[in-house]
């Protein structure tokens, strides 16, 4: 009955659990929820009036409205029109210029400007995403 003896590297039952060395191994099933959490996104509808009232920074409001308009038009490139600025609660054109500059500096979009015209912006998407999604 030599087979019934425990192996030499087995830790006896008298040793407390916290004294046993442990190694955490990440399995495929453990990776799935983590990947799902990383890919969560905000789904609307979120009323534009709520965005105007509760999001403080004009650049943040403008980005949310630009993403919403890009989704509606199914395009990542759009002109920053008076309607978009009104939806974002931006009434002053200089505030709009600063907001577009801030978003461009943060890497959220690329802006093409021509004198006397509204800027045309392209939202920068991550690879593998649908058009108009950040």
pLDDT at 8 over 90: no
What's residue 52's pLDDT? 85
The token pair at 80 is 């920053």
Residue 105 within any structural domain of the chain: yes
Q: Could you report the per-residue pLDDT of 71-120, keeping only the tens digit for each?
A: 889 999 999 999 999 999 999 999 999 999 999 999 999 999 999 999 99
Give me the number of domains the chain comprises.
Answer: 1
Residue 110 within any structural domain of the chain: yes
Residue 102 within any structural domain of the chain: yes
Residue 133 within any structural domain of the chain: no
The token pair at 125 is 């998407």
Domain membership of residue 90 as a residue range: 56-123
Residue 91 within any structural domain of the chain: yes
Residue 114 within any structural domain of the chain: yes
Q: Which helix (H) or strand (E) holds 66?
A: helix 58-73
Residue 118 within any structural domain of the chain: yes
CATH of residue 110:
1.10.10.10
The token pair at 129 is 């995403």
For range 23-49, the mean pLDDT: 73
Residue 75 within any structural domain of the chain: yes
Q: Could you report the per-residue pLDDT of 45-62, keeping only the tens digit for each?
A: 888 888 888 999 999 999
């Amino acid at each position: 009955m030599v087979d019934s003896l425990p192996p030499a590297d087995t830790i006896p039952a008298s040793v407390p659990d916290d004294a046993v060395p442990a190694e955490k191994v990440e399995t495929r099933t453990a990776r799935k929820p983590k990947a799902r959490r990383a890919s969560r996104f905000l789904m609307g509808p979120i009323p534009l009036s709520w965005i105007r009232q509760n999001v403080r920074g004009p650049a943040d409001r403008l980005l949310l409205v630009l993403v919403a308009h890009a989704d509606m038009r199914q395009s990542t490139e759009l002109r920053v029109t008076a309607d978009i600025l009104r939806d974002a609660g931006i009434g002053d054109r200089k505030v709009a210029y600063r907001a577009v500059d801030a978003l461009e500096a943060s890497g959220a979009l690329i802006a093409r400007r021509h004198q006397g015209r509204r800027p045309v912006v392209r939202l920068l998407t991550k690879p593998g995403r649908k058009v108009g999604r950040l």
